[in-house]
Amino acid sequence: MERDVMNDDRRITQYICSINDCELADCDKVLMFLPKDRQEKYKKYKMEDDKKRCVISALLLKYIVFYEYGVKNIDEWFYSHYGKPRLKYYPNIYFNISHSGEWVAVSVGTCNHGIDIEHSFRDAKRLSNLILSEREQKESQEMSLKQVNNYLISRCNLKESYVKMTGQGLLKPFTELDIEKRGRHISLYDCGEKIKGIIIKQYKLENGYWYSICVECEEYDINQLEEISIDELFKMIF
């Protein structure tokens, strides 16, 4: 029986899954069980890895929504003003999807939020004018190339999670956003004004991956980021 999402705990559940152990033939088999939106996108993709990401993201969403809220039917989606996807019959469930390289990440909760997973890129310094605020650019000037690359990917990752929370995406210039990190505490400023009422967390993963989550709430439980295998997801279907 589906639980009353309105009265559910204030928490966000987040998982990552690797596409490396996923076979395209298996994706074809589970396609009919996925939301129509995902089926249509799957058929449009040409690259195998894109098809795998499409299927895994949908399976992760089904997995979390079912085991956390008892909801089985997530077939119909609608899109907000900025194109952010939502579940048509469960407006109190918020979810976000991100992928980079081998990893697909999905988060689900009862509060608006955004996530981003990024892989470190070489020679990131050439992108600093597109990512960093004026203050951040000055702060990075004395850093080594390796430090600058980590600094850039960290800031890009954090800012991406914020604009995915708001739904603005590429409409919001990253240079207007300024990140201040003091230990584990992260503050975000927009055009010099501190953004209040949000929680931001960041994880540095293995092999050069970064993961961030931004939640539109000051008091909220964010479950630890967990990894799940593709076999575990397929068990839900077969």
Please write the tens of the pLDDT for every residue from 157-208: 999 999 999 998 888 999 999 999 988 899 999 999 999 999 999 999 999 9
* Assigned domain for 214 exists: no
Note the pLDDT of residue 173. 95
Tell whether 133 and 197 lie within a shared domain: yes
Buried b / exposed e along 107-137 (16+ C-beta atoms within 10 A):
bbbbbbbbbbbbebeeebeeebeebbbeebe
Q: Are residues 14 and 99 in the same domain?
A: yes
Same domain, 93 and 150: no
Residue 232, SS3 per DSSP: helix
> Are 20 and 105 part of one and the same domain?
yes
Kindly state the helix (H) or strand (E) to which residue 12 belongs, with its residue range: strand 11-18
State the total domains in the chain: 2
Residues 32 and 77 in one domain: yes
pLDDT in tens, 207-235: 999 999 999 987 888 889 999 999 999 98
Other CB atoms within 10 Å distance of the CB of residue 149: 20
Q: What is the mean pLDDT of residues 5-14?
A: 72
Q: For position 1, what pLDDT does the model report?
A: 44
Q: Are 222 and 215 in contact (CB under 8 A)?
A: yes
Cα–Cα distances (Å) from 56 to 61, 94, 122, 206, in that order, read 8, 18, 27, 20
15 with 92, same domain: the answer is yes
pLDDT over 90 (residue 72) = no
Residues 174 and 230 occupy one common structural domain:
no
Domain residues for the domain of 124 are: 120-207
User: Does position 4 have pLDDT exceeding 70, yes or no?
Assistant: no
Same structural domain, 51 and 13: yes
Which tokens belong to 229? 């295998």
What's the confidence (pLDDT) of residue 23?
94
Residues 164 and 190 in one domain: yes
Residues 67 and 125 both lie in one domain = no
Q: Which helix (H) or strand (E) holds 96?
A: strand 94-100
What's the pLDDT score for residue 5? 56
Q: What is the DSSP letter of 225?
A: P
Confidence (pLDDT) at 132: 95
Q: Which of 4-13, 76-85, 129-138 has the lowest mean pLDDT?
A: 4-13
Q: Would you say residue 18 has pLDDT above 90?
A: yes
Question: How many angstroms separate the CA atoms of 51 and 228, rounded?
Answer: 19
When the pLDDT of each residue in the chain is averaged and rounded to a whole number, the result is 90
Q: Do 53 and 144 sit in the same domain of this protein?
A: no
Is residue 216 within 8 A of residue 112, CB to CB? The reply is yes
Question: 106 with 10, same domain?
Answer: yes
In a domain, 213, yes or no: no
HEC per residue, 24-90:
HHHHHHHHHHCCHHHHHHHHHCCCHHHHHHHHHHHHHHHHHHHHHHCCCCCCCEEECCCCCEEECCC
pLDDT of residue 183: 84
Residue among 227, 238, 216 nearest 60 (CA):
227
What is the tens place of the pLDDT at every residue in 94-118? Answer: 999 999 999 999 999 999 999 999 9
User: Above pLDDT 70, what percent of the chain?
Assistant: 95
CATH number for the domain harbouring residue 135: 3.90.470.20
**Statement: residue 48 has pLDDT above 50:** yes
